[in-house]
């Protein structure tokens, strides 16, 4: 990761006026955001969906669409 940020600094994509720690901080925040959006959020959605399906099966009550 550090080599990637160093390469961005050398290529001129990162502003040279900023200290190096700012570039590393921004890179870590971007990488952390990618990890959250790619891995954590889908897992949270899937586990919520599974929990609701299980709770629905456990509470299998006779409702208005199954009586009459």
DSSP classification of residue 33 = H
Q: What does the alpha-carbon distance between residue 30 and residue 24 come to, in Å, rounded to a whole number?
A: 10
CA dist., res. 42 & res. 30, Å (int):
18
Per domain, the residue ranges of the chain are 2-58
14-27 pLDDT tens trace: 666 778 788 788 88
Q: How many CA atoms lie within 13 A of 27 on its CB side?
A: 16
Do 24 and 5 form a contact (C-beta atoms < 8 A)?
Answer: yes
DSSP annotation of 60 reads -
Give me the residues of the chain with pLDDT under 50, please: none
């Amino acid at each position: 990761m550090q080599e990637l940020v160093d390469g961005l600094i050398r290529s001129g994509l990162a502003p040279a006026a900023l200290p190096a720690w700012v570039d590393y901080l921004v890179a870590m925040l971007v990488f952390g955001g990618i990890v959250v959006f790619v891995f954590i959020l889908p897992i949270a959605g899937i586990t919520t969906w599974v929990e609701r399906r299980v709770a629905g099966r456990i509470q299998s009550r006779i409702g208005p669409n199954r009586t009459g």
